[in-house]
Amino acid sequence: MFDRIREDVDAVLERDPAAKSRWEVLLCYPSVRAMAYHRMAHRLYRGGHTTLARWISQHSRHVTGIEIHPGACIGKGLFIDHGDGVVIGETTVIGDNVTLYQGVTLGGTGKDVGKRHPTLGNDVVVGAGAKVLGPFTVGAGSKIGAGAVVLKEVPPNCTVVGNPGRIVRREGRPHGVDLDHVHLPDPVKEHITALERRVDELETHLHSLYGTQHIEEDLKHADL
């Protein structure tokens, strides 16, 4: 138990520049407390004490703002930054050294039975407000941009943005945990820029063929 708490504290110190000491992390970081509650609840849940396990998880939610179902399987080194509004469903599986930001939901899409929630591989980063919904896998080393809604499988080492989530970068991640949320591709902006460039090229081509005056007269007639 103490080894796991030490790993939780190390994860915070490694990934949060605001953390200044181990005592600060132990006393002030909801991620560490939420994981301590979850390990207790998960042990009870697997032992068949489901009601007590759920009560502990709900008490943890009240104290930390983080709701983790006691059935969720979570690896070592999970860091939930700030934590308010984070929801982790019953059949969620989380690998090692995963980072979740505030407002993240790892949920389902309906009332299906069996595996209903996502599986996150090692070193995955999920940005603030992102929703990962369904029984699929987000591959190791992948990053989900803030506000993304992910509804299907993500291969390893990919970057996903948007609603619905789109893969905008493949095999483009450095080794280890990547916390950069600024330098993400914007596919909508890239398409608009390409369209503007193409329109400029077509206008230049028309000017060279017909002359500026002829084109302006045609545009006036079109407006009428």
- The C-alpha atoms of residue 191 and residue 198 are separated, in whole angstroms, by 11
**Architecture of domain 2-180 in this structure:** 3 Solenoid (2.160)
- The C-alpha atoms of residue 98 and residue 197 are separated, in whole angstroms, by 40
- The C-alpha atoms of residue 39 and residue 21 are separated, in whole angstroms, by 23
Structure tokens at 133: 């919904």
pTM higher than 0.85, yes or no? no
| Sequence ranges of the domains in the chain | 2-180, 188-223
Tens-digit pLDDT string for the chain (224 aa) = 778 888 889 999 988 888 899 999 989 999 999 999 999 999 999 999 999 999 999 999 999 999 999 999 999 999 999 888 999 999 999 999 999 999 999 999 877 788 999 999 999 999 999 999 999 999 999 999 999 999 999 999 999 998 888 888 887 555 555 555 655 666 666 778 778 888 888 877 777 776 665 656 666 666 54
On the 0-12 / 13-18 / 19+ scale of CB atoms within 10 A, 54 is: middle
